[in-house]
Amino acid sequence: MLAVPPKNPSVALLVTCLVDLLRPQVGFAAVTLLERAGCKVSVPESQTCCGQPAYNSGDRADARKIARQVIETFAGFDYVVAPSGSCAGMVRIHFAEFFADDPVWAAKAMHLADRTYELTQFLTDVMGVAEVSAAHPGTAIYHDSCSGLRELGIKDQPRALLNTVNGLKTNDYSGSEACCGFGGTFCVKYPEVSDRIVGQRVTELAATPGDLLLGGDLGCLINLAGKLARTDSKLRVFHVAEILAGDAGPAIGEKS
Partner 1 sequence: MMHVTTDFPAAAHEALGDKSLQAALARMRQGFVSGRASAVARLPEFDAYRDAARAIRDHTLAHLDAYLEIFEANVKAAGGQVHWCRDGAEARETILRILQSRGAKTIAKGKSMVGEEIELNAYLEANGVRPVETDLGEYIIQLRRETPSHIIAPATHVSKAQVADAFRAAHTLLPADRSLAEADTLLAEARAILREEFLNADAGMTGANFLIAETGTSVIVTNEGNGDLSQTVPRTHIVLAGIEKVVPTLDDAAVLLRVLARSATGQEISSYTTFSTGPARKDDLDGPGEYHVVMLDNGRSALLGSAFHDMLRCIRCGACLNHCPVYGAVGGHAYGSVYPGPMGSVLSPALAGIAAAKHLPHASSLCGACEQVCPVRIPLPKMLRAWRDVSFDRGLVTLRSRLGLAVWTFAARRPALYRLATALTAKTLQKHRAWFRLVPGLSGWLATRDFPASSGRTFMAEWKARR
Residues that bind partner 1 (CB under 8 A): 15, 17, 19-28, 43, 45-49, 51, 53-60, 62, 65-66, 69, 146-147, 150-151, 178-179, 181-200, 222-223, 225-227, 229-230, 252-253, 255-256
| Nearest distance from C-beta of residue 31 to partner 1, angstroms | 8
Whichever of 26 and 71 has its CB closer to partner 1, that residue is: 26
Whichever of 45 and 232 has its CB closer to partner 1, that residue is: 45
Considering only CA atoms, which of 82, 72, 5, 19 is closest in space to residue 238?
19
| Nearest distance from C-beta of residue 83 to partner 1, angstroms | 10
Whichever of 146 and 165 has its CB closer to partner 1, that residue is: 146
Q: What is the SS3 assignment for 26-72?
A: HHHHHHHHHHHCCCEEECCCCCCCCCHHHHHCCCHHHHHHHHHHHHH
Sign of CA dihedral 185, 150, 192, 212: negative
| Nearest distance from C-beta of residue 88 to partner 1, angstroms | 15
| Nearest distance from C-beta of residue 33 to partner 1, angstroms | 15
Rounded-to-5 percentages of helix, strand, coil across the chain: 50, 15, 40
Whichever of 101 and 192 has its CB closer to partner 1, that residue is: 192
| DSSP state letters, 143-186 | E--HIIIIIH--SHHHHHHHTTSEEEEEE--TTTTS--S-TTTH
| Nearest distance from C-beta of residue 101 to partner 1, angstroms | 14
Whichever of 151 and 242 has its CB closer to partner 1, that residue is: 151
| Nearest distance from C-beta of residue 130 to partner 1, angstroms | 28
Q: How far, in Å, are 51, 94, 209 from residue 60 at the CA level? A: 10, 11, 44
Whichever of 164 and 233 has its CB closer to partner 1, that residue is: 233
Q: How far, in Å, are 32, 96, 189, 193, 223 from residue 89 at the CA level? A: 22, 11, 22, 25, 20
Q: Which amino acid is present at 5?
A: P
